[in-house]
Amino acid sequence: MRFMMVVIPKGYDKAKPGAMPDAKLVAEMSRYNESLHKAGVLLSMEGLRPPSMGARVSFKGGKPKVTDGPFAEAKEVIGGFWMIRVKSKAEAVEWAKRCPMPDGEIVEVRQVQEFEDFPADVQEAASGEPALRAQLEKKAKKG
């Protein structure tokens, strides 16, 4: 099973462009990342720049509207993520509990929706998508 562990840093919604994390925290996080890698569960990970450097595209009446950050209504924003492969939600939660996060910060654990989890009609509707076809072919070769 794949899970995404999403970092929701306290106050990141108000971070200025170019804000950088504390070096001590980065060192702790690097050790944590190495433990994920050594355990063979880490698939990918990324940190994200503050919302003040981003944009949102909202849709109303079939038309896109672009709003540059920061976003006044944001209370919790994503600061980064890890994608891991583990045997259960409980195992993913255990990894999240080991994360060296400062007080008040959150790591949200979410299971990835796999293609085979969808009902047959949804699988059929999505079956023509090229990236999905490649994923299915890769699974078929393994399995």
Phi, psi (degrees; rounded to nearest 5) at 4: -105, 125
Q: Where do the domains of the chain lie?
A: 2-112, 114-143
Q: Is the peptide bond before 70 cis (omega within 30 degrees of 0)?
A: yes
For 2-112, CATH number? Answer: 3.30.70.1060
CB atoms within 10 A of CB 50: 21
Among 10, 19, 7, 11, which Cα is nearest to 53's? Answer: 19
Plot region of 121 (φ>0 → left; ψ -120 to 50 → alpha; else → beta):
alpha
In this predicted structure, what is the pLDDT of residue 136? Answer: 67
Write the DSSP symbol of residue 76: S
Q: What is the full per-residue pLDDT of the chain (143 aa) written as tens digits?
A: 999 999 999 888 888 998 888 899 999 999 999 999 999 999 999 999 999 999 999 999 999 999 999 887 777 899 999 999 999 999 999 999 999 999 999 999 999 988 788 888 888 888 777 777 677 667 667 65
In this predicted structure, what is the pLDDT of residue 87? Answer: 97
